[in-house]
Structure 1
């Protein structure tokens, strides 16, 4: 049925499309409920189903829509002061990442992000995360041009804001909406043909929005303490997976 409504881009099968629809729903549910994790899950699955040349830009477009929807649903909880310096750094990092001709080895980025996340969970949040948001935005935006799912890195900055669970999720969504917007713009300038993937991005975004709405109901039933504990556990598990992928890859 889907192939009658639109033409699937080259390299994507109908079975893969429906699989991505389900993963997009689950990934957004996880992120809405826990604040993090869905982007990395979606990227991991897309890496085996989407052509390599389209992986990072298409993932960025889907994550843009997903985070924008989550931010819209929780708009009143966004901690706007966190976006000021972060926005400037993100713009600089995205431009620099787009200008870099040599792609960084993925395993180096995976290892660095994984170790950083574990450090941020078991140690006190690094002070420079809250003191130097420009640097945080710049580094994470630069990395997202090569790695895709840097929500884990940005989660460390969001955690340093010491926000309640709704504020944490909403603010993280706003930060990632900004970052993915810049990434999509830069990839567009570099010549990626988003038009061929438009209907796929729209469909996955709709599935993601439904997952966000479901996850928001789950979030409303969690206590602050339960949220923090679940967030830390999920961060460690994903970080260990990143480190394992780096060492075995």
Structure 2
């Protein structure tokens, strides 16, 4: 089947950038356990209309995390996933009830604030562990995921506190995020979002993300995590500050 002249409402150069970025961010998430989805949505927020940002990002991440979960299935911590599911379903229902009432400008500021908090805010208390705490985390992060998109760092924080191998962390995180992003297909579809206009771009970003996941899993355990974490943290911080500026411009606060 031939490709259409345009993969989406975006410019062709921007589409190519996002497809390549999907490979990079999937590789980051597969090798470091977390971070790729946040970097992707922070970048997408600079170039995409607010109404399309979270649903398109969600479908791309559904494919990326789903592929990673399948590739690492033998390492999955099933009890954590089982505790996460009920809360995630409740969070998705709550999100569908009050979906995306954030205006353009405020959406960008919310994403930036959420990312900055997960990067530099206080750590999570130990009592958040356990089945009840994990279910609550599933509900809160799924609800936030439908509003701001970038809930990955918070989900990873809960999973990492459970301990386990690095492979288990990557596998369980991927499975939980797959569930979260799957709920977005129903939530945003019910809200009337037209996925058809973005399907080619989503499909190619998913395909490139699978390649990135395969490469990232090859690198898992071989990278200098301390140095990379510092560079990555500051990179996200700079993107968040840029997003704050963009949000203030769209709200008319600054010229």
Question: Which of 61, 85, 88 is equivalent to 2:86?
Answer: 88
> Hey, what's the Cα distance between the residues in 2 that align with 1:95 and 1:113?
23
Aligned to 2:172: 171
Aligned to 1:19: 17
The equivalences for 1:25-36 within 5 A come to 25-36=23-34
2:42 maps to 1:44: yes
2:180 maps to 1:182: no
Cα deviations by residue, 1:144-182 (Å, 9 ceiling, x for unpaired): 111111101111111111121111111110110011001
Structure 1 residues 163 and 114, CA, compared in 2 at 3 Å: closer, same or farther?
Answer: farther
Aligned to 2:234: 237
1:245 offset after TM fit, Å? 5.4
Question: In 1, are the aligned partners of 2:110 and 2:148 still within 8 Å (CA)?
Answer: no
Question: In 1, are the aligned partners of 2:69 and 2:172 still within 8 Å (CA)?
Answer: yes
Structure 1 residues 143 and 88, CA, compared in 2 at 3 Å: closer, same or farther?
Answer: same
Question: In 1, are the aligned partners of 2:41 and 2:149 still within 8 Å (CA)?
Answer: yes
Aligned to 1:71: 69
Question: In 2, are the aligned partners of 1:109 and 1:143 still within 8 Å (CA)?
Answer: no
Cα deviations by residue, 1:197-249 (Å, 9 ceiling, x for unpaired): 11211110000000000011110435xxx55x468546743664476457655
Structure 1 residues 36 and 12, CA, compared in 2 at 3 Å: closer, same or farther?
Answer: same
Question: In 1, are the aligned partners of 2:155 and 2:173 still within 8 Å (CA)?
Answer: yes
Stretch deviating more after TM superposition (193-202 or 177-186):
193-202
Aligned to 2:214: 213
1:54 offset after TM fit, Å? 1.0
Instruction: Return structure 1 stretches of 4+ with deviation > 3 angstroms.
Output: 116-120, 229-249
Q: Please give the TM-score of this superposition, normalised by the length of structure 1.
A: 0.85
Tell me the C-alpha RMSD between the 2 structures: 2.5
> Hey, what's the Cα distance between the residues in 1 that align with 2:112 and 2:241?
9
